[in-house]
Every structure is written in structure tokens, then in C-alpha cells.
Amino acid sequence: GESVGLHLPTLSVQEGDNSIINCAYSNSASDYFIWYKQESGKGPQFIIDIRSNMDKRQGQRVTVLLNKTVKHLSLQIAATQPGDSAVYFCAENDYKLSFGAGTTVTVRA
Amino acid sequence: DAGVTQSPTHLIKTRGQQVTLRCSPKSGHDTVSWYQQALGQGPQFIFQYYEEEERQRGNFPDRFSGHQFPNYSSELNVNALLLGDSALYLCASSYMENTEAFFGQGTRLTVV
């Protein structure tokens, strides 16, 4: 079975609002995660990563939170824009990437 | 600085044929991994090459093979193509084996 899984297959967000995409993992030994964004017809684009020695990491308009107690991570996108519409994947990186099924984010104008 | 580049972008093959896909890693990267992505699903790991050797392999049959060259570029070969091999094939590169991995745009393979 999958080692990582996303909570919701789809997310509809109003432009300008914040988006939160959730992901759960099963292996308590997992210590490195990457979030990717994939637009239609393109390869996954690296957004942000986090290792287990951190609880939170911030990038440009994005924040990743890691809760090792409940084996959960989330990606927060601030002030969501139309260009944020895509499929988002969390992936466990254990010398190879293990992906969940993805969350499709649609931004409403 | 060129990112990960893959060729060709699209390919149509007939069932039973063989195909070779190519990947050039991001500058400074020495590790290449290949993934298969079926429509509507997340990418599935095929194998990884580091120092010209296959280091890890996912749950794919021996019809899938690869190679890494001294310049770190890589090829994915698939023999005896099946209709079910139709997918987006993605190459990802990184510096060493467990660091940030960046993807190319993929090769869309259609088997008819």
C-alpha cells in the first residue's frame, strides 16, 4: 500500500484565500518529505522540503508543517492565486520518492 | 542553468516494440531516478542510477532497464511494450541519493 496519502482528492479555494493541503504517512521512521506541484502536461515542480529535525519550514508564500506525533504534514499556500491551480503531491524521500495520489487544487476567481 | 531535460516529449509505439527514453540531469547532479505516472495517479518509482550503477529498483518487470553514462545522463529502455505501459515517464535528478530531487517535463508514451 501507499506509504503517504493525501486527505482530500480535490480542494476548491477562493482567490486570495489561504489553502491547506494535508498529507499523512505511515512509517514513523520517515524523516524527509518533499511537496511537489504538477500542472497539466508537465513534470512535478519542487515546492519545498522538510526533514524530521524540523516542525516547520517556510518558503515564498508556502509553509510546510510536520507533526511527527500523528505522522501528518501539511502545505499551506498564502493568498492563493490562479497560477496555484494544479495537482499537489507530498512525497516521502527515502533514497526514492514515494508519492500519494495527489490533491487537485482549483482556484475560483 | 538548464534543469532536467528529457527526450522525446511524446512518443507513439506499437505493442511489442521497444523504446528508449533519455534524460539529462540538472547541472551538478549525479543521481538519476525514473518514474512512471499513469493518468490520475502519483508517480511510481522504477529505478535509480548513481555512479553508473542501478542502486534501487521498484516493482517493475525486467522489461524495464536502464543505463547511466559517465556524464550522468541516463536512458530508460522498455522492451516488449504492452498497452499498459502507456504513461508519462519522468526523470528526476539529485545530488547524491537522498537530497532535493528535481523532475524533467516527462515523456508521454502511448502504446497502440
Q: Please give the radius of gyration of chain B, using alpha carbons only, rounded to the nearest integer.
A: 13
Q: Give the C-alpha distances (Å, rounded to integers) separating B41 from B38, B65, B106.
A: 6, 22, 15
pLDDT at A6: 65
Q: Contacts of residue A101 in chain B, CB cutoff 8 Å? A: 40-42
**Residue pLDDT, tens place only, A52-67:** 999 999 999 999 999 9
Whole-number Å distance between alpha carbons of A33 and A47? 11
Of A97, A100, A101, the CB nearest to B45: A97
- The predicted structure's pLDDT at residue A1: 46
Nearest-by-Cβ selection for B42 from A45, A46, A99: A99
pLDDT digits (tens, 9 = 90+) for A10-32: 999 999 999 999 999 988 888 99
Query: Could you tell me how far CA A60 lies from the centroid of its own chain?
Result: 14
CB pairs under 8 A between A and B: 55
For chain B, the average pLDDT equals: 95
Top pLDDT among B86 and A94 is at B86
Residues in B closer than 8 angstroms to A36, CB to CB, are 103
Average predicted confidence (pLDDT) for chain A: 92
What sign has the CA pseudo-torsion B80, B84, B90, B93?
Answer: negative
Length of chain A: 109
**Minimal Cβ distance to B98: which of A32, A45, A101:** A32
